[in-house]
């Protein structure tokens, strides 16, 4: 092979690399509460040692359904939402391990949707490659924003905060968009069980063991989601919980008590909660925590002064204009 046949492709792909990198800057969203699991973890990993009292774990059903700042505001509990969209249980397990290096939460809330996220090597590789591409070239992730492109977007570029997620959210994935779910009741009682695959079950047991070992009260919960939830899945989680002496709160069965309004409280036609739905879920969970756990109200404590500043910021960020 001639040398130009080596140099030319290298130059071509370097050019492409630079081009995509530059474009990515154009496509980065102005106000992103987007996923970015690594950036997000910075928040909890850099929190002072043993200051976090509870954490929530799971996939996007977790990250969109509980807002720690609401709990702080109402009960003074200091906690963090560690839900990562698309996360599988083995990653959840390693994440928990990592967090426990520096924190000793009393309570862990584990969302159940990821029980059915089975691990398949080919898919896992595919996801990893996709994630890597999204991290290197945000344009790959945010390319669809061409739909909202206008000249104003260009003017906003210098003001862009990059992927920074406001720390005040404490891991909660804020979204106030409403796309109603209109297909009516979705809870149909049955005795059937949809078994949890061996692979997620293995890590689920490891999470249970780890919590026992560290004396953490583990609570399972299911966020309201007509699209992902079924009674068969409920039965599986329920029997797992009773086998392991765990509490299981299925919010899908308490939708009326929660006063979920499916015309307003979901951001994507019943898949995830939006801000309004998350507030209701968080309130319910808060009441449960205050009754059934011995979490402490930290509001007056000096060490937690920064949480009050964060709250002010949070209230401003979530103010609906």
Report the interface residues with other proteins, using CB under 8 A.
1-2, 5, 12, 15-16, 19-20, 23, 27, 122, 125-126, 129-130, 133, 139-141, 143-144, 146-147
Question: Which is closer to other proteins, CB of 126 or CB of 156?
Answer: 126
List the beta bridge partners of residue 81. 56
* CA dist., res. 115 & res. 200, Å (int): 6
Q: How far is the CB of 253 from other proteins (least distance, A)?
A: 28
- In the complex with other proteins, which residue's Cβ is closer, 121 or 215? 121
| Of 199, 302, 221, 205, the residue nearest 54 (C-alpha) | 221
Nearer to other proteins, 18 or 315 (CB): 18
Q: In angstroms, what is the minimal distance from the CB of 261 to other proteins?
A: 23
Taking the complex as a whole, the smallest distance from the CB of residue 6 to other proteins amounts, in Å, to 10
At closest approach, how far in Å is the CB of 277 from other proteins? Answer: 19
Q: How far is the CB of 147 from other proteins (least distance, A)?
A: 5
User: Given the complex with other proteins, which of 140 and 202 has the nearer CB atom?
Assistant: 140
Nearer Cβ to other proteins (120/209): 120
State the first-to-last Cα distance of the chain, in angstroms, to the nearest integer.
Answer: 63
Q: Are 293 and 109 in contact (CB under 8 A)?
A: no
Instruction: Compute the least distance from the CB of residue 30 to other proteins, in Å.
Output: 16
CA 31 to chain centre: 17
Cβ partners under 8 Å of residue 68, min gap 6: 56, 77, 78, 79, 80, 81, 169, 170, 171, 172
Scored b (16 or more CB within 10 A) or e, 198-207 reads: eebbebbebb
In this complex, which beta carbon is closest to other proteins, that of residue 12 or of residue 94?
Answer: 12
* Least distance from other proteins to the Cβ atom of residue 299, Å: 37
Judged by beta carbon, residue 50 or residue 120, the one nearer other proteins is: 120
d(CA 315, CA 321): 12
Structure tokens at 154: 């260009």
Task: Provide the minimum distance between the beta carbon of 158 and other proteins in the complex, in angstroms, as a whole number.
Answer: 22
Whose Cβ is closer to other proteins: residue 5's or residue 159's? 5
Separation CA 98–CA 281 (nearest Å): 27
Rg (Cα) of the chain, in Å, rounded? 21
Helices in the chain by DSSP H: which ranges? 4-27, 37-45, 60-63, 68-75, 89-100, 121-136, 138-142, 151-156, 198-213, 231-243, 255-258, 275-292, 305-318
In degrees to the nearest 10, what's the CA dihedral of 309, 311, 317, 320?
A: -140
């Amino acid at each position: 092979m001639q040398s130009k046949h080596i140099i030319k492709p290298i130059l071509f792909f370097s050019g492409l690399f630079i081009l995509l990198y530059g474009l990515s800057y154009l496509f980065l969203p102005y106000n992103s509460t987007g996923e970015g699991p690594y950036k997000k973890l910075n928040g909890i990993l850099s929190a002072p040692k043993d200051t976090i009292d509870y954490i929530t774990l799971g996939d996007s059903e977790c990250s969109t359904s509980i807002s720690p700042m609401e709990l702080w505001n109402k009960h003074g509990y200091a906690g963090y939402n560690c839900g990562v969209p698309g996360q599988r249980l083995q990653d959840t397990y390693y994440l928990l391990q990592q967090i426990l290096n520096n924190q000793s939460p009393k309570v862990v809330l584990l969302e159940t949707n990821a029980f059915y996220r089975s691990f398949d090597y080919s898919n896992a590789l595919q996801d990893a490659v996709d994630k890597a591409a999204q991290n290197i070239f945000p344009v790959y992730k945010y390319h669809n924003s061409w739909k909202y492109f206008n000249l104003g977007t260009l003017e906003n570029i210098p003001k862009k905060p990059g992927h920074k997620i406001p720390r005040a959210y404490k891991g909660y994935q804020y979204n106030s968009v409403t796309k109603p779910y209109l297909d009516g009741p979705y809870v149909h009682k049955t005795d059937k069980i949809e078994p949890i695959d061996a692979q997620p079950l293995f890590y689920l047991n490891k999470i249970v063991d780890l919590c026992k070992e560290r004396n953490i009260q583990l609570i399972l919960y299911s966020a309201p989601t007509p699209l992902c939830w079924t009674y068969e899945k409920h039965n599986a989680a329920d029997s797992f919980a009773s086998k392991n002496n765990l509490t299981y709160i299925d919010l899908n069965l308490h939708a009326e008590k929660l006063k979920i309004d499916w015309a307003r409280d979901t951001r994507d036609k019943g898949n995830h909660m939006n801000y309004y739905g998350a507030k209701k879920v968080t309130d319910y969970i808060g009441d449960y925590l205050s009754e059934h756990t011995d979490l402490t109200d930290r509001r007056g404590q000096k060490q937690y002064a920064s949480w009050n500043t964060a709250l002010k910021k949070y209230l401003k960020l979530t103010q609906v204009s």
